[in-house]
Amino acid sequence: QVQLVESGGALVKAGGSLRLSCAASGRTLSGYAMGWFRQAPGKEREVLAGISRSITNTYYADSVKGRFTISRDNAKNTVYLQMNSLKPEDTAVYYCAASSILNTRTVLSGERQYSYWGQGTQVTVSS
């Protein structure tokens, strides 16, 4: 099994930027499609972005397209989420997720498609 630990969450002002990291242990991340999700208080968890094993393909939710960028460094066993132009409505707990998959170019965008989850990191955007 792969264990995931997110970091980088913080309190930031609207318009600011943050980079979240998701470090994996137990298994090499190169065998996993990865994704980032978030859950705001009183709301369901929503997908933000996904990236294929081979890094060639990505997916972004409309709510973050153009502002957030997912990337991965398989050599460092880490996935990142660069968040720019942050808004108060981006306030949430952010989670990374992994799914073992054979196809190196498949991107997963559904919560149920992911098998492994981190514990989350809090992002708070003040107005």
pLDDT in tens, 64-102: 999 999 999 999 999 999 999 999 999 999 999 999 988
Query: Of all residues in the chain, what percent carry a pLDDT higher than 90?
Result: 90
Dist. CA 36–CA 93, nearest whole Å: 11
User: Which pair of tokens denotes residue 14?
Assistant: 């609207």
User: Which pair of tokens denotes residue 87?
Assistant: 């808004």
Q: Residue written as tokens 């972004």?
A: 60
Dist. CA 39–CA 13, nearest whole Å: 19
Q: How confident is the model at residue 56 (pLDDT cuts 50, 70, 90)?
A: confident
